[in-house]
Structures are given as C-alpha cells and as structure tokens.
Structure 1
Amino acid sequence: MKKSVGIWVVAFILSLLPLGYVTAEFFKLPLIWDPLYGYLSLGFGLVCTLPLWGAIWARALKRTNKQDVLGAIALFLSYGFAFSSGDADYYWQPTAITSLLLLGGWVLHAQLNVIPAQVKSLAALLPEKATLVEGRELEHIAARDLEIGQIVLVRPGSTIPADGYVIQGHSLVSQLQITGETESIMKNPGDWVLAGSENLAGRAAANAPLTIRISAVGTDLLVHEMDRSLSVKDETPPKFTSLSAVSSTTLTISTISVALIAAGYQFVVTASMTAEFSVAVGVLLAGQVTLVSRSVALAAEASAIKVKKLGVMVRSRQSFEMLSKINHVVFKKTGVLTKGHSSVGKIHIARNTSIGSESELLALAASVEMGTSNELGHLIIQEAAKRGLELPKVTDFAPIPGLGVSAIFDGSLVQVGNSGMVNVTGVNINPYDLFQVSTAYSEGSSVVFVSIDELLVGYIEFPDELRANSAEAIVDLSGKQAITILSGDATSLVEKIAQKLGLSDFAAEVLSTRQADWIKEHQSSGSKVLLVADAHYDSAALAESDVGLAFGAGPSVHSDSADLVLVSQNPLVVPKLIALSKQTQSRTLWNLVLGLSISIGLMACGFLGFSAPAIALVGLVSSWFLMSRIVRLVK
C-alpha cells in the first residue's frame, strides 16, 4: 500500500471511533454519555481531518482545485457549530462528514495510484554493461560510458545498449517491451536498432551476434525521449482546461451564494440554528465532492500513459487532441502500408543495349546514386559493395527533383530514377521491357530505371509486400475517415496495392517535392489531414499536415518534422490512436457535464434539507464513478 493511501486509511479507521460514540448517543443507545466525552470525540474527529486539511493546503498552493474552499468552509462550520452549540444530537454530523470525506480521499488516492502504476520506465530496459569492439579486442564497459561512433557487439539473448546502425550480422530483434509489438524484426546491415530492444536468443540462423555502430547515447536515446513525452509541456494546456476552470470557479461562487440563501431561508422558516447550519453545510459539500476542476488534468495524464503503451511518442499534446477532428487519413505506401524495401531484387538488362552484364549495370547505377540520399539508391550502393564491384568514375552529379539523379559517364548523360523520370525525360523503352516492368508492378515491386542518353539500358526491381496489419487498419478506419494512399510510385503499382486493401482512393506518381502541396490542396477543400509517413523522406509533407505521424523508429526519429512518432511498425495503432483521442475528449467533456449536473442536483437536495452526511455519501459514489471513467482510459 502506498504511503499516501495509507494515511487516508488510518485516518478513516480512527474517525470511526468518535463517529460510533456520538452516533450511539444520537440514537439513544445504552452507553455512558458525558458531555466531556462528547467534546473529546469532536476533538478527536477534528484531528482525524488533518489529511483533508493537508490535501486542501497542497492543492491551494498549486491552485489546482478551487472547490476545496467549499470543503474547508463546510468542515469549519460543522465543527464550529458543534463545539459552540453543545447540541449532542448534532455531533454525529461533523464526525460522519469527516469519515465520509476520508473514505472519499482513500478511494480517490487509490484510483489516482492506478494511473501512475501503469507507467513503466523504458530507461529501465537498458543494460548496465556493453561489449565494446576495439580492433580485434573486446572490452566490457558501463553502457552509460558509450560514445557516438563506437562499435559494440550484442550477442543473442542480450539487450542493445544504445541506438545505432547494424554494420555486421543478421538477427531477429524484439521491441516488445518498448512498443508492444509481438512480432520480432529481422535486422540486417544498415538497419537502425533501438536501445532497450533485445537480440533474441536461439540456435537458428536468424539468431546471431550483431555488430552495431552507436548513433545516440545518454539522454538522446529514444527510450529517454519516450519517457519524457509523458510530461510534455505545451504552451497550450489540455483541451477543456478553460471550461473546467470557469466551471469550477462559477460552481464555487454559486455554491457559497446558495448556501447563504438556504441558511437564511431555513432560519426564517424554522428559526433553528441547527437546521440553518445543517443546510448550509449540505449545500457546500454538494459543490465540493464532484472534482470538476481535476477531470481535465487527470484525463490528459491517463491518455498520455495509454499512448505510450501503444508505442507512440508525443511531442505535442495539441496534436494528439487534434486527432479527434481528423476526417482524412493519408498513408504513404512504401514502408508504412508495406514493409518497405530491404534489398535489391531482379536486375534486368534492357533489349538492344550496350550494357553487357547485370554487374556492369549495377556498378553504373551505384556510381550515379553516390550523389543522392534516396533509400533505393542506398540499397543499390550496398548491393554493389556486397558484390565487390568496382564503380566507374562519373562526374557532374545533378538531382532530378522528385524523379532521380543524373551524372556524366564517358561523355554520356546517365539518368537513374523512377517511372516519373522515364515519362518526363522521354526515355525510350522497348515493348518487351514495358511488359517486364508491368509484371514487376503486379508483384508489388518498385522499379528503378537506368538510361544512357535517354535510351533505357536496364532496370532494377525492389521487392515489397503489405504489412500483416495494414488491411485490418484500413477496415477499422473505413466509414469513419476518408483514406488515401499517397506515393511517388507508378500508377499501376499503387493501384494494385489499393485494390488489395479494398481502397479506391489513391494518388500515384506524386513527386516528393509536390507532396506537401498535395496536402495543402486537400486542406483547402476542408480536410483535416493526418499523414502517416517516414520522418526523413517525407518531412516536408509531415510538417504541412494537420497532424503528422512519423512511422517507425529510424535515424530521423529525433527530427521535429512530426509531433507524433509511432515507434512500432504496426499500422493498426493508427485507428487506435484516433479512437483514444476521441474517447479522451468525449469522457473529459462528459465528466465536466456530469460533475456539474450532480453538484447542482445535490445542492438542490441540500437546499431542501437533506442531511449533509447523505449528500457527502452520494458525492463519494459520484466521484468514484467519474474517476473510474478516466482510469479506464489507461486500461
């Protein structure tokens, strides 16, 4: 039991002693009654209220709950009248109120502890030791002493100590403890790996040591950034904060006013000071018990924890809240709905060309791609290096924006790029090669074309396939938001992917330089766009969208192009994230409405003369119900 809850439990149990004694006198049960014992019981009950006063004072310093003023006034009036009047029949009311408020504090703190109990520090997953590779020597050092650029060896069954790139080895890596992904990921040379993930143990070929070059250390590790994302502080407070503050202030002032009116009315009608104070205390408690002012902050905290459990890093709470208004979800195709390209596939020599072999074509393409940062270009360069090819010397590198890259080789213009390059530059293609390209598209492969002086000399396939959860994610979103696949790939290839997912809306052959403009065009027609894309290659489009969700943990995950980062590679998280945002906003608003309604109803009961302890009891049950609605967001 946590200390904060324990204090409330002890105080509640002790408060039952004076309550039992004065209640026995109220019902005239046989016991030894003495006015001195009555005063001592009141005094003991007042001592038991110390946790209540402590909580009121703590929140007053933070200015987080104006309604606490009502509880303080109610306790002061109730005990003050009991001591001053000496009316033994009234003693049970302040002691009963004390016990009920302490019980409420116990229940509240127990529920509040449920929320932080769901938080698991990802930094705790990091190993204490790392195996440093120094030439041919291995040295065991503290993981916290690692530096960027150093090389570490991670054996099967060991935890990766820092973010970095695999430079040698092939092995299955699990990110289950970080992102919740149950499916392990095969990591190959060039792949980015996440500190805290595990190189899975086993005797199969898929379980091998990984040699990793460190790219981030210390507080720059992604797991640390994910931990910090729980306490993200925006200039803009959570939605409904202003409404909550105004409601709480208005409720506090209104409750005090109604309490004064009710007390005056009771005094005129009954001429009884006991009735006057009972009604006033009842009305004050009615306005205090429903925690209107705390609903927004608690809902924001609960949803932040749930988001982290989904494997999402939040840099802007405002962007998370904006998800509830999204009516158009745009997915990039490659690497989001599909697994992305991990290797070079078939290499084709075009008909009627001077290129003599696949190796010659690959070496020429790799030489030209040295002047680009394109993902497929890197794969071409890696494949050429793997085959040990000698690259020809080329000059005058020039990017073809959104299409490819060009260079001069032996006095001829060499161009390497996508289908858009072929169409724009007028590259001639043999009908047989067109058929081969069409076949590659039908199989889901992307194609890079190589031309010399606007004559196609060859083309390279890059196999790709849909992710396992892509279709399910589309089904979950269908009928709720418009869904579009956005890609720079050929129309026939993107259309095939769309058909497999049951979608009719797609935008193909949209150059990377125009994708931000494509987003703007749809926003101008009233769309609130969520773009799910790569943080590096699609940074401009992510920044332009209403909400940008960077997909997957990669080397560019630390960039600021997206306010939300889906560290896992599970498209199914997207509909869950949107649903959570809507659920958070809905429950927060309804909690405010229900809290105000319950308080107003209880104030009416207090005005009509219902006993203050009865009002406190109903308020306790109501607060538990409202708090449970928020706690369920985490589960």
Structure 2
Amino acid sequence: MTAGIETTRFSVQGMDCASCAAKVDTAARRVAGVEDVSVSVMAGTMSVRHEAKADLRAIAAQISNLGYPTKPIRPAQPQDTSEPSAGPHLHGDPEFNIDGPWSKTRKALLALACGAALLAAYLVGRLAPEIGHWAFLLALLVGLVPIGRRAIAGAMAGSPFSIETLMSIAAIGAVIIGATEEAATVVLLFLVGELLEGVAAGRARSSIKGLADLVPKTAQLIEGDQVREVPAASLAIGALVMVRPGDRIPADGTVIEGSSAVDQSPVTGESMPKSTQPGDGVFAGTINTDNVLKIRVTAQASDNTIARVIRLVEEAQESKAPTERFIDRFSRFYTPAVLVVGALVASLPPLLLGQSWGEWIYKGLAILLIGCPCALVISTPAAIAAALSAGARRGLLLKGGAILEGLGKITMVAFDKTGTLTQGKPQVTDVVAIGIAEAKLLSMAAAIETGSSHPLALAILAKAKAMNVPVPPAMDAKAIGGKGVTGTVGGDRLLLASARAAAELGDIPAQLQARIDGFNDEGKTVSVLLANDKIVGIFAIRDEPRPDAHAGLSALRDAGVETVMLTGDNERTARAIGSSLGMTVRAGLLPEDKQRIVRELQAAGAIVAKVGDGINDAPALAAADIGIAMGGGTDVALETADAAILHGRVIDIANMMLLSRATMANIGQNITLSLGLKAVFLVTTILGITGLWPAILADTGATVLVTANAMRLLGWKGMSVFPDR
C-alpha cells in the first residue's frame, strides 16, 4: 500500500440501486484526501482509499447528507471469536445495523405518511371541494419536501440532475398546470418504488451474511481421550475434531482417521459425494454422510472456505462499476437545456427586438410546460415495469432496469454444470444384467438401498419405481464405509459396491471391465451388484443434461452469444457432458477459480453472464457483468445473482436476452416519441401557433402514448421448447 494511504470501510444505509451507488461514489470523491471509492449496494458498504490525515467523519457526513446514514466500520477485535470475521462485520457495531424490519425504515415511514396524506386529501376533496386543491398540495408536500431536500443535497455533492431533481421538477410542473392530484400520486408511487428496492437489497444483505450459518456453531474437539463441545469459531490451526455421520464439517482440514463419503456440493458443486480417506482435505460446511471422521484443522474460522466465499462476493460487488439509470444520464443535459431555452425565449426577444414582455414570458412558460420531464420520467420505468412483469410470468426474475438493459449486451455465458446444465440429481442411465433378468437385478439392488438417502441409492430406487419392479425386504442391510452397501435378500448375500471395491474382491471379466471403462469414459459412475460373491449386474449412473439444454445453447449461439462450462465436478464427467452439449469445458474448479476465469474472460473483452445454482457459484455470480441463478438453487445464489430463472429452463437464458433487446427497443421508441412531440410543440410555440393549453396537452398526450407503447411488452412470450408451457 502507498505510504500514507489507508483503506476504510463504511456501512451505508438506504442504498438499493445503481443510482444510489453513483451518488454516494460522487459525493465521497469530493471530500479532501479521498483517493478512490468503491461501493457495494448489496453489502451496504463503501470502501474508501484515503490519505491518513483524511477526516472520516467528514466523509460519513457528506454521504449522510444525501439521505444515506453512514458510519465507519470498526475492525473486528482479534480476541472476538464469536463469529467469523469474513462477514460484513456489522456485528461490530450493534447501534448501527443496516438491516432490520423494512416496515421501520425511513423509506417505509415516508411512503406510509405520503399515502395516508393522499387518502386524507381525497376524502377532503369529496367532502369540501373548494379546499380539495390545498389538501392535495399538502399531501404532495409530505413526499416532495424530503425528495427536494435530497435533490438539493445531491446538487451540492456533485449530482445536480439526479432522479430526485427530475421528480421535483415534474411534480412542481404538474402543480403549475393544476394537476396537483396527479403530482401527489406520482410522488407516492416513486416512494413506493424506492421502498421495494430497499426491501430487495435488504434480503440480499441478509442472505450473504447468512452464509456463515453453513458452518456449524459448535465442534467436537478431541483432547487426549476426551471429546468436548466447543464453539467452531474458536478452533485453532492444528486442533483435532471428530465429525459424526450427518454432521457438517466445522472447519477446513485434513482427514486423520476414518473413511467416509463427504457431500462437497455446497462448496465445489461436485454432483457426487466424494469418497474421503486419511490424508484427504475437506472443507468447512460440507457434510459427512457415512462414518465418523477425525479431522485436523488447517484454517481458522476467519479464513475457511465459506468465509472466503463471503469475502469474494463482497469484493466483487464493490469492484463492479455502478450502472447509471438512463434517465439520470440524459437529464444532465436535458433538464438544464430546457431551463435555459425557456429563459432565453422569455427574455431575448423583448431585450433585443423590443417585443412584448407579456407575450414572450407566456411563450417561455409554455416551453417550460412542454419541457416538463413527466413523459421522459415515465418512458423508461414504464417499459421496464412491463418487461419485468412479462418476464416474471415466465419465471424470469430480474433485479431492476440496469440488469434488464445489460442482458442484451452479453457476449459470453459461463455455465455451472450441476443443477444448471444438468438436472442436479443422478439418474440410472444403463442397467446391465448378467445371468438374471433386468427386473430382478433392479429389485435386489433397490431392496438393500431402501431407506438410504445417498444420491446413488436414490437414483436406483427411482429407476426401480419407474420400472414398476417389486422391492422385497432386505435383512441386515448396512453401509460399508468407502465400499458400498450390503444385505441379504431371499437368502442371497448381496453387495452393491463401486467398481474399484468389487475388483478388490475378485477379478472382473475383461469384457465386463471394458463395458465399465466405457461408462466411465462417458462420465458415468458405475456400481456393481454381487450376489453370493458373484457379479450379477452393473448400474451406470450420471447427472443428465436438462431436457432443453441443447435447445437453449443453440438459441444462445443463434443470438451470437458464446458459451463455456465452469464446474467443480471432475474432468471426465464434465468433458462427457460438455462434449454431448457441444461446449468448451473448464473442470475441477473451486469458487475462486470460477471467479478468476470470469475476470479473465472480461479482460479479454467479453461481456460475461454467469449462470449457476450453488454457493460455490456466488463469487463468480457477483464478479460477472450479469449473474443469473437457476431455479431450485441455494438462497445465496438467488440473492447474489442479478437475475433468476425459476423454472430451471436453459432456453430461458436466451429469453432473458431477447426480452432485454425488446425492452431497449421499446425504450428507444418512447424517448423518440416524447422528445419528438416536445420538439414539434417547441417550434409551434415559438411561432405563436400554440400556447399554454396545447403545451399541457402535448405533455399529457406524450405520457399517455409512451405508457401505451410500453404496455405492449406485457404481451411478450419468448421462445419455448415446450409449447404447452
């Protein structure tokens, strides 16, 4: 770090969109001594690189004045082991918690107050029409005064033409033309929209902080001949812990004693539980499924795998450049231009040409009405609201207009495999019976697997059910650690084991071994059933591609978008699936590897969308230009991602991009329509053909036309490989 330069993180309340982040960023950079700023809306944090002598209270005050209460985050104390320090750290300051019931936030209280005032004004207008106008004006002021204060504070902090400025101008303009009721309603809807954005952002923050819950709170610490329960966060490097079957592993470590299958899907995305032997590494938060393990801790709680995932997600969010709303960008030029043109029209003819002041002030006022940004303010959000609604009916959830806009620009989609391109659960693809009927083979295997929750067992039981074969009772059924499951059915001693375990019990015929090798080359897991020490059949099992995977990838290629698979699964399985789908594969990846590859693709010029469904995808989802979570995924994937596909259809990724392109075309039409009408009436007003009332009608008419055009998006349906859906 440069001498004299420090980095301080702040918690920032109330940020819930890219526009908020842009205003916070701009304001912070204007404080003396600030070198660089990065803002994370999702985490509710801001990291500031500043000179050592910079006044942190001045930075916090500058942001707080915008309506976003801000305070430096105190570093976690070294002796505090109550919870991992990799999280958002907000537990360090309980008096300044950014989370809480949404109904008690400032935005909620303001929206409720404005709504109540508007309802009261309506009742007053019905009972006493002569004072109805003043009642609506008071209702308008309830919501507009705070918005106006934020607009003024934003202007003083370097953002003079924010969305608050536009809303203030639109509301005041509406009052001038006598539409006070409409102005009050527009302000209320704006406040409700801000409140909903805040609720969504709060859920995202809670989800990321909840990642730590994957690591158990306690651990079974081995001390000599004794085992005692201790807080998992207190485990030191080198400590020895015992993990029972069904328990989550409390820390990253190395297996010292015991053999078991460990479900690593929360961390690596591996579709099958991994057979773990002494000397193998294991991750915090993964699940021991079969037998007792003794594990030596290799990382402290603050640096375990889950803690690093949390840290990576937050860092990726903070480094992502905020996307400004289109209307904010345009208003930098449009709003001041309208004010300048109105002033010039009102003053120049009388001053330079001796024209009537009354006539030209009238024309200047008409131009201000023509330039009222009502139609522009509604053009973009109306189209976005219609598109989001149409997408939601298809199970496409997008977190705001910036995401909707960005989807149409994607050039590369990076897919997870398990649960994204595939269905997320193993299926029996091949049954090879040797000397007995296939139905009997399935019946015996299902009998000894009954009651097991192992993914391979569930696959065999599902196949037996689909084939409608009887499942007899099994005697003495039990799991044999690292090998398989055994039991007695109808007097036959059965063992369902891996091909490797079966080979240890006796030679496998060359022809059958060739068949097993062929299945392995196709990425399939092979289980061998022995009856009385004789092989009677084999099962090939694999997590198969989703039914629409081929069609979905083809639709992306037709749209000019490239694809790549990034998976934590083993190389052979990933290659087999990737080859069948015709896509490039990168396998054996940990969460940080996926994030690194996304960064590399971006550095090469690609605009990247990352699609995944697991915790292991969270850092890459956050690092990508657009993160997309597949339906049925973990909460953290859904909350970290910018968009979600609830029905789990691969083709819906292409649909998201088509919806984005249709929406942006609609927005372009709306802007052209609203500005075109204003340009026409600007000319006719200056020529004296039209006056105040036509100007008012032009603005109202433009708003109606823009809204009607945006509503056409409600009929959008997208592509489907399932016409009946």
TM-score of the aligned structures, taking structure 2 as reference length: 0.44
User: Greater relative contact order: 1 or 2 (C-alpha under 8 angstroms, separation 6 or more)?
Assistant: 1
Over alpha carbons, which structure has the higher Rg? Answer: 1
Give the TM-score normalised by the residue count of structure 1.
0.49
